[in-house]
Structure 1
Amino acid sequence: MSAATINPNEAAHFGALAADWWDPHGSSAMLHKLNPVRLSYIRDRIDAHWHVDAHDRRPLAGRSAIDVGCGAGLLAEPLARMGAAVTGIDAAPENIAAAREHAAGQGLAIAYHAGELAALPPATFDLVTSMEVVEHVTDPAVFVAELAARLAPGGLMILSTPNRTMLSKLLLVEAAERVGAVPRGTHDWDQFLKPGELTELLESAGLEVVDRTGLSPSPAKGFKLGGSEALNYLIAARHKG
């Protein structure tokens, strides 16, 4: 498969944010608040999938991981610290430049690439992650199929994405962009996928969903796992059988 899934306008939008991607108070502040919650879920699924001790600090040692739509490396770097050989790919060359610079400063060896996932050399990965990306591509079905093609036998895939509900339209698109919580133009509500729709795409790509949970606002922590899926959700999948 080599169909293009990158939306050039989306790539340009996120590339323009590259310079302060790592600033927790900058334009990516929302991602910095989301990331610890995502990481908690990813770690839980890693432990369950590979029967890893929860106290093991390098649960991905000896395994490979790819973060698709990696931005400037906010998730790729923790995956590397968990012991994985990490590849990161993003549509925006500006993000990849920022990711490489930051990883070098942290002493982390991460293989970063700009461009289409299909353009990477043939390889599969034990862990495939893609956070808040599927709602930005031109063809979600092709994109999910590309992700599935990169998942090694016995591997684990974890995605997160906003849900297409009236609440997400009100809070994630209209209110969040109006008050500046996320940059204007970040979200197109019509592109959001309901959990059933994303599940169908995963199953059509030969995967089975093994877990799903809501990701919702928390007055105490900013965000929390569990509870309502009305705004956002995380989904874990593996090959069928």
Structure 2
Amino acid sequence: MRSMPRNDPRQYDDLAAEWWRPAGTFALLHWLAAARAALVPPAATPGRVLVDAGCGGGLLAPHLRGKGYRHIGVDLRRTGLAQAVPHGVTAINGDVTALPLRAGGADVVVAGEILEHVPDLPGTVAELCRVLRPGGLVVLDTLNDTGLSRLITVTLGERLGLAPPGLHDPALFVRPGRLVAEFARHGVTLRVRGVRPSLTGLFRWLVLRRPAHGRRIVPVPSTAVLYQGVGTKIRGIEGRDHA
């Protein structure tokens, strides 16, 4: 892979072939996608809109089948979007800090493994909330800004193959308290809980190089490394609209 600065989005172009390889580089992202989807209830009526911010290759799509949503994926890299389309994702090339979507048009907004990559966290949260309708649901997961998180995901994680080298910039990791406060500014009450990969899943992937089976992401008491968030928008916000 080309030498690039940490968190350079062009890395995903070089890793495009990994999106759908079952035990490949992005295996952990598949597990997290399944865990996110488990937090999304079936649509109240068919055709409700779910916006997948930073959708990558569309890994959430298989886990949403049968839930009745129109799955709209927004991503900065066209290489990922090209792989999301065959899985039923309506692909839109765009930046999560300026979503090219109208205000209040989404029933569900999902932000999986993207918030620890954005230089402008307040702007990104504002956009996620802007496109979410009042009463709508937001589902997310991200990495905590702690020494333990940096050790596991960057120092050890890159050596062990948990993440490609340079994919994360730990300076962008997000403490839960900060994230809860940012969402609250836009009328979204966010609840968080800690999660981690299952030990058996990690063993099968890292040691046996085989796909993990069963429940691969499990809840834990601590949010020190990886955590999920679920929230509901209780009021509207003002903001710019997009076509």
- Normalised to the residue count of structure 1, the TM-score between the two structures is 0.81
Cα 1:10–1:61 change in 2 (3 A) is: farther
Deviation per CA, 1:190-239: give whole Å up to 9, x if none.
11111001011111222222x32111233245431232211111111122
Q: Residue 214 of structure 1 aligns with which residue?
A: 194
Task: Confirm whether residue 194 of structure 1 aligns to residue 175 of structure 2.
Answer: yes
Shift of 1:60: 6.5
Asked whether the 8 Å contact 1:65–1:79 carries over to 2, the reply is: no
Q: Could you say which structure has the higher helix fraction? A: 1
Q: Residue 38 of structure 1 aligns with which residue?
A: 36
Shift of 1:77: 3.9
Q: Residue 49 of structure 1 aligns with which residue?
A: none
Deviation per CA, 1:60-80: give whole Å up to 9, x if none.
734210100001000134324
> How large is the Cα RMSD of the aligned pairs?
2.2
Distance 2:45 2:193 in 1: 22
Deviation per CA, 1:128-177: give whole Å up to 9, x if none.
00101011112000000000001012100111101111211111111110
Asked whether the 8 Å contact 1:65–1:84 carries over to 2, the reply is: yes
Asked whether the 8 Å contact 2:74–2:91 carries over to 1, the reply is: yes
Q: Residue 237 of structure 1 aligns with which residue?
A: 231
3-state SS of paired residue (1:11): coil
Alignment of 1:37-186 (within 5 A): 37-40=35-38, 42-43=39-40, 46=41, 61-100=46-85, 102-103=86-87, 108=88, 110-117=89-96, 118=98, 120-123=100-103, 124-186=105-167
Asked whether the 8 Å contact 2:119–2:172 carries over to 1, the reply is: no
Cα 1:119–1:132 change in 2 (3 A) is: closer
- Write out the 4+ residue segments of structure 1 that deviate beyond 4 Å after TM superposition: none
Asked whether the 8 Å contact 1:148–1:207 carries over to 2, the reply is: yes
Cα 1:64–1:132 change in 2 (3 A) is: same
3-state SS of paired residue (2:21): coil
Cα 1:147–1:121 change in 2 (3 A) is: closer
Shift of 1:126: 0.3
User: What is the aligned residue count?
Assistant: 215
Task: Confirm whether residue 224 of structure 1 aligns to residue 218 of structure 2.
Answer: yes
Distance 1:116 1:80 in 2: 25
Asked whether the 8 Å contact 2:18–2:25 carries over to 1, the reply is: yes
Asked whether the 8 Å contact 2:74–2:93 carries over to 1, the reply is: yes
3-state SS of paired residue (1:34): helix
Shift of 1:33: 2.9
3-state SS of paired residue (1:154): strand
Distance 1:226 1:66 in 2: 27
Q: What is the one-letter code of the residue matched to 1:194?
A: R
Distance 1:187 1:8 in 2: 6
* Aligned-residue identity in percent: 34
Asked whether the 8 Å contact 1:59–1:82 carries over to 2, the reply is: no
Deviation per CA, 1:7-66: give whole Å up to 9, x if none.
9963212232222201022221221233333333x14xx3xxxxx7xxxxx667342101
Q: Residue 18 of structure 2 aligns with which residue?
A: 20
Structure 2: 5+ residue runs without aligned partners? 202-215, 236-243
